[in-house]
Amino acid sequence: MSNTLEGIRVLDLSRVLAGPYCTMILGDLGAEIIKVEAPGGSDETRGWGPPFQEGVSAYYLCANRNKKSLTVNLKSEEGQRVIHQLVKESDVIINNFKTGTMDRLNLGYDELKKINPELVYCTITGFGETGPYKDFPGYDFIIQAMSGLMSITGTEESGPQKVGVAITDILTGLYACIGIQGALLERTQSGEGQKIDISLYDSAVSSLVNIASNYLMAGKIPERLGNHHANIVPYQTFDTSDGSIVIAVGNDRQFAQLTKLLGHSELADDERFQTNAKRVENRGQLSPILNALFKQESTAHWTEVCRQNNIPCGPIQNLSELTKDPQLQHRDMFIEQEHPIAGDIKLVGSPLKLSKTPVQYQSYPPSAGEHNEELLQTIGYSTEEIDELKKNHII
């Protein structure tokens, strides 16, 4: 079975999450991913834990399947020559070093495009390679704070809150993946590669979507609404007799139907609640009324009733409940791979469902330097030369 990106080789000089997440997606789609680290392994996530499984970090495992591992001392001239040789046979190179580091290592775009004019060169930094913040280090937590995401997450009582995962890393990885594939597609027309400059800060700000648009149009700084929606009511959590449920009413027709299910259809005729705009204006009056009604039955009851009547809803699930969800099991969203050190490992699967070229899980997340000999031999290094590189701590 062929893969979507079969024949594409990617040199992945990134680490932690944004870059590795991007290249894992490309690897799932069939690209050959060569994960490049310093000798011994320099991706910090290898040591991030617990939990560990037989010494292997769960964090590292989450973003590094479908890759081969090469260790190279990029600070050495011989190590740089190894990358130069690989660039000749590669389509993409991605890194997340600080701005200017790749140039100092003789691995900048201007240098590498001389070796391979078709190369797509992607950089991921905290703030981008231009502008007054270009030299600042950027971490997800910092970016969530600066980008406005934390200012709209949480409640007025809780204060600013971060999202529970490194969401700006994930967004940046997705944008990098989109940009790389777009550049590869353009290359089929021009025959040339290009440089892609992706930043966590830009990616996070782009995710503000309607909240940013609201401010840009109205000039009003948004308040923290917790589990409420800024522009739609009711679109929030409600307490039930045994837990909580999310109700997401998107239009006036759905609201009228919801009020019937709750046994109080008169609410839909109430002048304060007849339209979404009025419900947003009067959310402080409507929400307590609805919450009292939802408390009369269980989460399971309301989930079933709302689904039967096409009211968008969902229970708040923890990870234990999530992994047992029959929908996710049907969609193969949890997979297992055999790892030579960790044994049987469980991972989140890919959400990409392609009918002709489905994603494939061909290899487990590799140990540092696991494929050194195999990869170096493909670019002409002999066994003796590889042994010399090992002796000199180049690989």
Q: Could you identify the residue written with the tokens 């309301």?
A: 302
> Strand locations in the chain, DSSP E?
9-13, 32-37, 52-53, 56-57, 68-71, 92-95, 120-125, 195-199, 235-239, 244-248, 313-315, 334-339, 343-348
Q: What is the C-alpha separation between 283 and 295, in angstroms, rounded?
A: 18
Closest CA to 25 of 173, 139, 232, 193: 173
3-state SS class at 273: coil
Question: Coil, helix or strand for 80?
Answer: helix
CA distance 108 to 129: 12
Catalytic site positions: 169
Report long-range pairs for 254-257 (Cβ below 8 Å, ≥24 apart): 254/310, 254/311, 254/312, 255/279, 257/309, 257/310, 257/311
Using CA atoms, how far apart are residues 159 and 163, in angstroms rounded to an integer? Answer: 13
Phi, psi of 96 (to 5 degrees): -130, 35
Residue (of 35, 15, 13) closest to 370 by Cα position:
35
* Longest pairwise C-alpha distance within the chain: 85
CA distance 26 to 9: 10
Say if residues 33 and 86 touch (Cβ distance below 8 Å): no
